[in-house]
A and B are shown apart, each in its own frame.
Chain A
């Protein structure tokens, strides 16, 4: 039987902090355990978020500059991951038509996309989907008149039943109501993000996401010509 000390010597040195963090039964004062999260698919963003990704079972608020101002591109990697796991993603009253070719290109399984085209019932539908615990992610675009503290709290409570991240995209120019959201992000033109609120307070500065590898048309044309 080898002496115990050699066993320890053979492992990598681990900080005490790490050892303690692994234990579920230890309450460590004001330090919170990171909530379970789903990667955003953007490494730069994951690094900036206190949860290391989109928090599961939590409300994430997105405040875009204009309708369709970048929130979908931001969410597409996460939505694609959800559909790959066989879970449906719900778009509750999107402001414009989500382009199927773009969704497909991003890896979203179109058979698992449910679009609720009823602005009056968007929040109700989102709540039902969250309560069912069957959806991978729910994205809601409420109307201006529907945005209020009570409605957001209802959604937040419904989200806590499941492990799907919930995204609410506020209409542009609409002041976000006081809410319990763990994260509020402003989405600016050109895909620039700004953490307005998080468990660690507002972010230091804008987050620039790496541009998705879009092939400019000219390059695409050149490639086609070369193949011919």
Chain B
């Protein structure tokens, strides 16, 4: 039986050809005018605003990359051009790397995407086609346009991805590269000019040149780069590692204050968080969100805690929405920061085999939802405390606190939060007295006689005659 050799290194490159365009629009909640408007991204180049990316609609109208923004607007007055957002692009590439890290531990960032070693992952993910298909599937939710390419060396993987090509063996790579125009290689503009001056057009011509000649004319850099491309020299790579903690600062392209728009942005941040949790094998316990309004206004911070660590996007979004609702946002928000608290140890959610729901997960989720709107203090249990003074014999506790009450004489169903003075002449004493004399050790000593009494309408009350520290009758509870 013939066995396929799996351990040969194989690199997959993922590039985002429309990173500038998509990055600029990523954090913008879709509006009503989104349909069919030509879109572009611009940046300051040489002191002038120039387009760095255009979409198909704009391209059909004659708008080109490199055009000055003013020229482009003259050609296409409806052009919706956003300033290039390098921070959003970097955050997006980080998300991309997190996804890639799920497929390989050797991931490196290139300027417009990532390269990852997949030769070692084939035993787990199956043959290359299956692996690439599952990678594409994992990338799809990111919502960015990606192109995959395959090469046996890291340096060529990005190039192959940009061309959308695949080469699994060094020979195949050599053949493909040979036909390529030199412009496709990652060379400095000065080197390109010199090569064009030499009359070299194809990579084949460059390879055919004696190395001594090449080094003399262009310096050693080009020769070394060629060796790396052809796998004769190792490519130095800085491997990317998922960060220790999750923290994202997002600049909103257009300041907003609508809850829905903010939830949209938070949902985008959750994309990255979800992958980060999976890759780091962590479970989310709390999310801290800080909103920074325009013009240095006072920042708004809130936290969403989870009773039970885990990650469920619907549940989280609902909690965030509930937290955002009561917040009065008076100025547009221009930045927001999201930080995550987590504990290690992923535990996959377990659903009941028959009903498909998990009551052990659902109850904490309900408490989270209630707590998000009411506040943690608004949800409680009530527990007995061992103290002879009835007003100190109970306390609000966290819900779910187990407590066992001591055996006491009959107590009313309702207690007043504090005993209230009352007049005795309207009451008829029925049962008693229960003498309580205690508290001398903490300076709050008291002496009372508790009685069950009927008021004039027949309601049963729990009243006491106090002798110490004050004298008088008080009502403390209601039977019923």
Question: Which A residues lie at the B interface, using CB under 8 A?
Answer: 64-73, 76, 88, 94-105, 110-118, 121, 124-125, 128-129, 132, 134, 187-191, 214-218, 220
Set B366, B375, B396, B415: member contacting A128, Cβ < 8 A: B366
Does B411 count as interface, using CB distance less than 8 angstroms?
Answer: yes
What are the 6 closest A-B residue pairs judged by CB atoms, nearest first? A70-B480, A189-B458, A104-B405, A68-B414, A118-B378, A96-B414
Given the known A-B contacts A97-B416, A105-B405, are A113 and B459 also in contact in the complex, defined by CB atoms under 8 Å? no
Interface of chain B, main secondary structure: mixed
In the complex, which range does the number of interface residues on chain B fall in? 35 or more
Beyond the given pairs A99-B413, A128-B366, 6 more chain A to chain B contacts, judged by CB atoms under 8 angstroms and listed by A's residue number, are A73-B413, A99-B414, A100-B382, A105-B405, A110-B382, A115-B382
Cα of A97 to Cα of B394 in the assembled complex, Å:
9
Cα of A121 to Cα of B370 in the assembled complex, Å:
9
Contact B381 A99 (CB under 8 A): no
Q: Looking at the assembled complex, report how far the CB atom of A53 sits from the nearest CB atom of chain B, in whole angstroms.
A: 21
Given the known A-B contacts A99-B413, A115-B396, A189-B458, are A134 and B480 also in contact in the complex, defined by CB atoms under 8 Å? no
Using Cβ atoms and an 8 Å threshold, which residues of chain B touch A217? 409-410, 431-434, 452
Does B353 count as interface, using CB distance less than 8 angstroms?
Answer: no
| Closest B residue to A218 using CB positions | B431
Contact B400 A111 (CB under 8 A): yes
Contact A101 B393 (CB under 8 A): yes
Question: Which B residues lie at the A interface, using CB under 8 A?
Answer: 359, 362-363, 366-367, 369-370, 373-375, 377-384, 393-394, 396, 399-406, 408-417, 431-434, 452, 457-460, 477-480
Cα of A113 to Cα of B384 in the assembled complex, Å:
13
Using Cβ atoms and an 8 Å threshold, which residues of chain A touch B460? 190
Q: Looking at the assembled complex, report how far the CB atom of A17 sits from the nearest CB atom of chain B, in whole angstroms.
A: 36
Given the known A-B contacts A69-B480, A71-B480, A116-B370, are A98 and B382 also in contact in the complex, defined by CB atoms under 8 Å? yes
Contact A121 B373 (CB under 8 A): yes
Cα of A189 to Cα of B454 in the assembled complex, Å:
10
Contact A191 B480 (CB under 8 A): yes
Using Cβ atoms and an 8 Å threshold, which residues of chain B touch A100? 382-384, 394, 403, 405
Using Cβ atoms and an 8 Å threshold, which residues of chain A touch B406? 101
Contact B370 A96 (CB under 8 A): no
Cα of A116 to Cα of B434 in the assembled complex, Å:
32
Using Cβ atoms and an 8 Å threshold, which residues of chain A touch B412? 99, 102
Contact B380 A115 (CB under 8 A): yes
Using Cβ atoms and an 8 Å threshold, which residues of chain A touch B380? 114-115, 117
Using Cβ atoms and an 8 Å threshold, which residues of chain B touch A104? 384, 403-405
Using Cβ atoms and an 8 Å threshold, which residues of chain B touch A189? 457-459
| Closest B residue to A132 using CB positions | B366
Using Cβ atoms and an 8 Å threshold, which residues of chain A touch B375? 118
Contact A115 B369 (CB under 8 A): no
Using Cβ atoms and an 8 Å threshold, which residues of chain A touch B402? 110-111
Cα of A15 to Cα of B405 in the assembled complex, Å:
50
Using Cβ atoms and an 8 Å threshold, which residues of chain A touch B370? 116, 125, 128-129
| Closest B residue to A75 using CB positions | B413
Using Cβ atoms and an 8 Å threshold, which residues of chain B touch A134? 359, 362-363, 366
Contact B411 A105 (CB under 8 A): yes
Contact A117 B433 (CB under 8 A): no
Contact A66 B383 (CB under 8 A): no
Contact A113 B381 (CB under 8 A): yes
Q: Looking at the assembled complex, report how far the CB atom of A190 sits from the nearest CB atom of chain B, in whole angstroms.
A: 5
Set A73, A98, A103: member contacting B479, Cβ < 8 A: A73
Q: Looking at the assembled complex, report how far the CB atom of A131 sits from the nearest CB atom of chain B, in whole angstroms.
A: 9
